[in-house]
Amino acid sequence: MTGFVRLYAAQAAAALRTSMADRANFAWQAGGMFVNDVFMLVLWALFFAGFRSVGGWTLPDMALLYGLIMLIVGLANVFFGGYRDLAANLLKGELDALLTQPRGLISRLLARESIASGWGDVVGGVIVLAAFARLGVRDLPLIAVGALCGLVVYLGASVVFATLAFWAAGARSFARDLTDFTILFSSNPPSIYRGAAKFVTFTLLPAGFVVVTPVGLIRHPSPAAFAVTIGAAALYAGLAGGAFHLGLRRYRRGQSPALATL
């Protein structure tokens, strides 16, 4: 396990250095994302100035949800940026070189890239949580647990979507679209979803488990909320590992569409 962590840390550090090599480009990407996040928060503030609450959600609750999703997506982009183009890399045959190396294929694929704009999300998320979500120092452990579990669910779902590339050559854009839809669904109060939309939010696109259940844990901590949040993270981590290794066996047998595109 120690060797595995060192291997991931070395590759992630190399990706971070690469993303920061062009200082001007790094500043533009990170700064642009930060401005975008601030703009979206201002829109929500204007909305709640007129309507006060939506389904029981007020501006501090929305700030908590929005700050968490910013932090989760930002951490994913900075430290696991390979998830964004994972399906494309699978279809391009990037696995061939990695199969001859030590174990930890998923971690190396995720750590091979760091997306500079993620820093804007991380900084923006911390500011939103600290300034607008009405949180105290006692909430920090719950925020850490919620953000970590949300990150695991988000990355797990993204890996599951990307593994569609083992079965369909057209999965390159489809997997990325599913990941983007997950972010979109996660950025709205859950009370606006009803019926089929709510079913999609907690199943096909696990937006509810990315951020809604962590918000519930932070606002109303209980053993049940803790169990659901931790359980969702464990479930999607298991699904990601299972889907990837199932597709990898198909790839090794020469049945994957990725081999046809080489």
Is residue 201 pLDDT above 80, yes or no?
no
Cβ atoms of residues 80 and 113 within 8 Å: no
Q: Of 83, 75, 149, 80, whose CA–CA distance to 119 is shortest?
A: 75
Is residue 152 pLDDT above 70, yes or no?
yes
Specify if 13 maps to a domain: no
Specify if 12 maps to a domain: no
Specify if 162 maps to a domain: yes
For range 24-43, the mean pLDDT:
89
Q: HEC profile for the chain?
A: CHHHHHHHHHHHHHHHHHHHCCHHHHHHHHHHHHHHHHHHHHHHHHHHHHHCCECCECHHHHHHHHHHHHHHHHHHHHHCHHHCCHHHHHHCCCHHHHCCCCCCHHHHHHHCCCCCHHHHHHHHHHHHHHHHCCCCHHHHHHHHHHHHHHHHHHHHHHHHHHHHHHCCCCHHHHHHHHHHHHHHHHCCCHHHCCCHHHHHHHCCCCHHHHHHHHHHHHHCCCHHHHHHHHHHHHHHHHHHHHHHHHHHHHHHCCCCHHHHCC
Report pLDDT digits (tens) over 215-262: 999 999 999 999 999 999 999 999 999 999 999 888 877 666 655 554
Is residue 148 pLDDT above 90, yes or no?
yes
pLDDT value at residue 173: 86
Q: How far apart are CA 232 and CA 102, in angstroms?
A: 29
Higher pLDDT, 8 or 72: 72
Is residue 11 pLDDT above 90, yes or no?
no
Specify if 6 maps to a domain: no
pLDDT value at residue 102: 59
Specify if 14 maps to a domain: no
Rounded to 5 degrees, φ, ψ at 57 are -90, 130
Q: How far apart are CA 86 and CA 23, in angstroms?
A: 26
pLDDT value at residue 256: 66
Specify if 17 maps to a domain: no
Q: Which residues pair with 54 in a beta bridge?
A: 57
Specify if 210 maps to a domain: yes
Is residue 67 pLDDT above 70, yes or no?
yes
* Count of structural domains, the chain: 1
* Buried/exposed 205-216: b ≥16 CB within 10 Å, e otherwise: bbbbbbbbbbbb
| Least trusted range by pLDDT, from 7-21, 58-72, 86-100, 236-250 | 86-100
Is residue 17 pLDDT above 80, yes or no?
yes
CB atoms within 10 A of CB 54: 17
Specify if 5 maps to a domain: no
For range 116-142, the mean pLDDT:
93
Q: pTM here? A: 0.90
pLDDT value at residue 129: 93
pLDDT value at residue 106: 86
Is residue 1 pLDDT above 60, yes or no?
no
Cβ atoms of residues 131 and 37 within 8 Å: no
Average pLDDT of the chain, as a whole number:
87
Domain containing 234: what range? 22-260
Q: How confident is the model at residue 169 (pLDDT cuts 50, 70, 90)?
A: confident
CB atoms within 10 A of CB 71: 24
Report pLDDT digits (tens) over 95-126: 877 777 656 788 888 988 999 999 999 999 99
